[in-house]
Amino acid sequence: MLNKYPLWKNLLIVVVLAISVLYALPNLYPDEYALQVTGSKSSAVIDDRVLAQAKSALDGAGIAYSSPELTEQNAMLRFADGETQLAAKQVVQQALGRDYLVALNLAPTTPDWLGALGAGPMKLGLDLRGGVHFLLEVDMDQAIAQRIDIYSAEIKRRLREEKVRYRGLSIDGDQQISVKFLKAEERDEAFSLIRREYLEFESRTVDKDDAFFVSMKMTEAKIKEIADYAVKQNLTTLRNRVNELGVAEPLVQRQGRNRIVVELPGVQDTARAKRIIGKTANLEFRLEAKLDEALTDEFAFRDTPSRTARLEKDVIVTGESVSNASASFDENGQPQVNITLDGRGGKIMTTVTREAIKRRMAVVFIEHKMHDYSGEEGEGKIGSREVQIDKHIISLATIQSTLGSSFRITGLDSVGESSELALLLRAGALAAPIYFVEERTVGPSLGQQNIDAGLTSVLIGFAAVILFMIAYYKVFGIIANIALTLNLVMLISCMSILTATLTLPGIAGIVLTVGMAVDANVLIFERIKEELKNGLPVQSAINSGYSRAFVAIFDANITTLLVALILFAVGTGPVKGFAVTLSIGILTSMFTAIVGTRAIVNAIYGGKSIQRISI
């Protein structure tokens, strides 16, 4: 029968639209400002006592909160606005102390029944609302100090290989390396070697206190190179860590000489993000010192601080040599991390362990922490910051055979800690410690202005199109407007299902989609009017209008879709946001403009003997 869809096609359209409405619904429930409290270590447990302490601090400060929640991993408190959230963060952090991490968050308010169906709101970009902004500072002094330590160990190794006897090696406060010799001949031989192989140092000889020294100071050009490398390497590492978190459209970029900006839109677990991004975790592999060795370091064990061990000062390899890491379990069901070293690290590990069988090797876990005393009046350090470097042994095991590039680390506290350590090592070691200088949610006033302006533009365009279509096409205009509304619902639901991020340029894509959706209906309706003028019966004119306009609609939309895909492939940030919205909008508009309106027209006019239609 002319202009009648079969039952299965009508049911398919109804099902598609019902699913679209269902998955678009969560966007009616806005996120709430919240604080998320977790332990500074992934193995920490958050209990009722911690939540009660946070609530008591807020009550004492007169800060209103709502909906306190508690899980095994974190506690969450919600607030009315961003200013209250920021004030609450300082109060709760001061009350709980350093053992807990208090992070800004945006908590979803989607009903549980929608969440059970896998429905959630689409993410908003940072230019709208929903995300956190971190400003981090790279410790340049520590970057240079770390490189000096590496050079020191390498120089000692080279002197031993060349059988040049030296009395000792020390690093002065101004980062100068001094090598002491008892004989001038030995000093001169070492000086010749150092000047030949270490061009990045300005070397000179010094005679004092009946001893002979080679003094080495790093050149300014090398210091600048190390500082620049530290920032670039940290940028790469932070991008890898953010990618591991699965954040959509993050921003990680350099700011100034030694600072890095990290912006994470749509983050739900900001506490974990902060812990992983800011954690300067590294590893050192060292041999246990022999009894007659004078130059040693003493470290406590991480799980039992009262137990200590003396290790050689020389480091075999560090976490920078790790090319891959994965978390798993050992034969006793305890968490472990499987390590794979790069070519250079594997070669050094093989060389050292071949000569150290039956000796014990330690894995030293290093973590840099910064404590902010801006609000701790009792400690007398207001406005100051203290950098604390924690080094603890997590494993001390006997070398049974020569180790290659692959081995495992045990002695970890929990599965969460092994997963995080594997993630940090896999993402790459930081070339220098980084510290949080600033943490905030993106300015709510700016974001709200962007949202209001974007929504206003969509509503004005939508209203203008509706009025025009009704005035010009009458009943068929109303049908086109219904399809346009359904198109927006389908677009929003598709972005929610695909977890796409809506940005301000994305809103521009929606406005363009509205115009293109109407354009398709205009082509169809004008074709129908043309066929009616040519004398075709109403039913034939409707059928001909839809079938003959399809080619032009398909051609125009496919061309635009190809452009959108190219923009997505070569563009970044805002351009990608525009391309994603436009691509989805083109597909949904073709469905609603061709299939959706046809179904409504069929329901009204199909299979009937009519002489006139309102078009």
The predicted pLDDT at position 215 comes to 92
In this structure, how many other beta carbons lie within 10 angstroms of the beta carbon of residue 442?
A: 21
Distance between CA atoms of residues 49 and 550, nearest Å: 66
Q: Does the structure show a pLDDT above 80 at 242?
A: no
pLDDT of 518? 83
Q: Give the model's pLDDT for residue 18.
A: 92
Section 336-363 average pLDDT: 86
- Cα atoms in the Cβ-side hemisphere of radius 13 Å centred on 307: 8
- Interval 424-458: pLDDT, tens: 666 666 777 788 888 776 654 455 676 677 778 87
| Residue 534, both tokens | 């040519």
Q: What is the mean pLDDT of the chain?
A: 81
Nearest-angstrom CA–CA distance, 586 and 516: 8
pLDDT above 50 (res 382): no
pLDDT digits (tens, 9 = 90+) for 87-100: 888 898 888 887 78
pLDDT in the model for residue 374: 43
Residue 101: pLDDT above 50?
A: yes
CA 311 – CA 229 distance, rounded (Å)? 30
Please state, for a pLDDT cut of 70, what percent of the chain lies above it.
86
Whether residue 126 has pLDDT greater than 80: no
Q: Please state which of the ranges 100-109, 222-231, 340-349 shows the lowest mean pLDDT.
A: 100-109
Q: What is the pLDDT of residue 272?
A: 63
The radius of gyration computed from the CA coordinates of the chain, to the nearest angstrom, equals 33
- The pLDDT of residue 43 is 57
Looking at mean pLDDT, say which of 101-105, 128-132, 484-488 comes out highest.
484-488
CA distance 98 to 371: 8
pLDDT average, residue stretch 8-19: 90
Amino acid 446: pLDDT: 52
Return phi, psi of residue 370, to 5°.
-115, 125
22 pLDDT band, cuts 50/70/90, is very high
Residue 114's pLDDT band (cuts 50, 70, 90): confident
Convert the pLDDT of each residue in 461-493 to its tens digit. Answer: 888 888 988 998 888 989 989 988 899 899 999
Taking a C-beta distance cutoff of 8 angstroms, is the pair 315, 284 a contact? yes
**Topology of domain 32-107, per CATH?**
Alpha-Beta Plaits (3.30.70)
pLDDT of residue 144: 87
- What crossing angle do the helices spanning 574-590 and 444-497 adopt, rounded to 10°? 40
Q: How confident is the model at residue 41 (pLDDT cuts 50, 70, 90)?
A: low
Classify domain 279-441 by CATH number. Answer: 3.30.1360.200
Cα separation, 613 vs 131, whole angstroms? 51
Which of 270, 244, 279 has its CA nearest to residue 74? 270
Top CATH class, 142-222: alpha beta
Which residue matches tokens 């609530």? 55
Edge to edge, the sheet with strand 280-287 lists: 308-312, 296-301, 385-398, 360-372, 280-287, 317-318
Give me the mean pLDDT over the 560-577 stretch.
82
* Dist CA 39 CA 51 (whole Å): 12
Q: What integer pLDDT is reported at residue 142 of this predicted model?
A: 82
Cα 368 from Cα 389, distance rounded (Å): 5
Strands 123-124 and 501-502: parallel
How far apart (Å, rounded) are the C-alpha atoms in residues 178 and 169? 6
How high is the pLDDT of residue 150?
81
The full 3-state SS of 189-228, as one line of letters, equals HHHHHHHHHCCCEEEEEEEECCEEEEEEEECHHHHHHHHH
Q: How far apart are CA 449 and CA 466, in angstroms?
A: 25
Identify the pLDDT of residue 386.
58
Q: Measure the CA–CA gap between 40 and 50, rounded to whole angstroms.
A: 13
CATH H superfamily, domain 7-26+443-605: Multidrug efflux transporter AcrB transmembrane domain (1.20.1640.10)
Name the pLDDT band for 380 (thresholds 50, 70, 90).
very low
Would you state the pLDDT for residue 120?
82
Mean pLDDT, range 352-358, rounded to an integer:
87
User: According to the 3-state scheme, what is the secondary structure of 27-81?
Assistant: HHCCCEEEEEEEECCCCCCCCHHHHHHHHHHHHHHCCCCEEEEECCCCEEEEECC
Domain boundaries, the chain: 7-26+443-605, 32-107, 142-222, 279-441
Q: If DSSP codes are grouped into helix, strand and coil, which group holds residue 128?
A: coil
Q: Which has more pLDDT, 197 or 397?
A: 197
* Cβ count within 10 A of residue 189: 17
- Amino acid at the residue 438: E
> In this prediction, what percent of the chain has a pLDDT beyond 90?
9
Long-range contacts of 326-333 (CB under 8 A, 24+ apart): 326/422, 326/426, 327/415, 327/418, 327/419, 327/421, 327/422, 328/408, 328/418, 330/408, 330/410
For residue range 55-75, what is the model confidence (pLDDT) as tens digits? 999 999 999 998 888 876 788
Examine the pLDDT at 377 and tell me if it is beyond 80: no
Query: Mean of the pLDDT values across residues 184-190?
Result: 90
Q: Is residue 40 very low, low, confident or very high in pLDDT (cuts 50, 70, 90)?
A: low
